[in-house]
A and B are shown apart, each in its own frame.
Chain A
Amino acid sequence: MKTFEWAIEDIVAAHPDLYLEHCAVMAVVLMSQQSASPCDFVVEIDGVASPRLADANKFLLRVSWNANTFLNAQRMTSTEQRKPIAERAAVALAALLFAHLIPAGRMRVTRAGDRADYWLPHSQCALEVSGTENFREFARRHKEKIAQVLSNPLRWNGYVIVCCFDKTQRLIRWSYHQQESK
């Protein structure tokens, strides 16, 4: 299986239109509870075209972090609620994947009511990201996100990334979806 190893801190420079430092820290909160740096994820891909992936349908992602991010993660552990941590951690991993694997993968965000909507304006795609610490929620969450990404207001095609930070299963499902009428 193809393996990529990247530092979570890469996302800060790769996405100048987003403030992602805290997402990187939240990702380290979850990853460091399960492993020393680097932390491994199996990434299942469906329909995602990337020159670096060729025809692979899964790969191993090794995410590393530095001592400073780890320190910030330790400080955060005592103050944050679990759900936002999993969601922001997933945004960090999504940002890492797009930074390294998708040309023109710069992300932006808008607000829609209480939630954030992510976009890849240069490739005209919407993006739905979600994170869970419970493997049992994983498949259902991915299905929900597919419906959400396809109902984006601009009717753009879209990517879905769902990250599972379960102690027994560290898994990412990354898929690409096209509008039917296109």
Chain B
Amino acid sequence: MRRSKVKPAQSMLDKMLGEASWLMSHAEALADYGRNEEAAAELARAAACEEQVASWLDVAERDQEAVLHRVSAAACYEKLGQYARAVTLLRAALSTPVAAEYRRKIEEQLSRCLTRASREMRRAPLPKTRGPIAVAV
């Protein structure tokens, strides 16, 4: 009984890993062809898929692979100019022990994204002040 429960979960995870990979390579192909808007849309889908895959790998206790996919999602968000999201993912990736050289690379990526995120924050328009809330009496 137990075996039949594990198999579908593994196969679902495998399917999602395959999907993330396909989206990533498709985004790259679209960029190669200069179809930048479509490439960005596909890259956003790839990023979301990689994030989800990372969470499932956490559940499956495949921590090192989860880090890899979180960093991959962060790289997509960085490419899309969504630096704050990349920062969150990179910080999460760094919470797992990884090889020193890889950690250094993630830290470099994090520092680059932090710089860009704070630049982006300074440029962003101030949020509109909330108006009075109408209360029904």
A: which residues have CB within 8 A of B? Answer: 16-23, 79-80, 84, 88, 108-114, 116-117, 121, 151, 153-155
Contacts and interface: CB of A to CB of B under 8 A. Distances in A.
Given A151-B101, A153-B102, A16 B32 contact: no
Interface string B36-62: 000000000000001000000000000
Contact of B50 (A18, A110, A114): A110
Interface stretch (B69-77, B117-125, B126-134): B69-77
A154 B68 contact: yes
10 contacts: A17-B21, A19-B29, A108-B17, A109-B21, A109-B24, A109-B28, A110-B50, A111-B76, A153-B67, A153-B99
Contacts of A23: 29
B101 A110 contact: no
Which of B24, B33, B64 gathers the greatest number of chain A CB atoms within 10 Å?
B24
A153 B78 CA distance: 19
Given A153-B98, A153-B102, A20 B25 contact: yes
B25 A109 contact: yes
Interface residues of B, number: 32
Interface in B57-98: 64-65, 67-69, 71-72, 75-76, 78-79, 98
B26 interface: yes
A13 B127 CA distance: 50
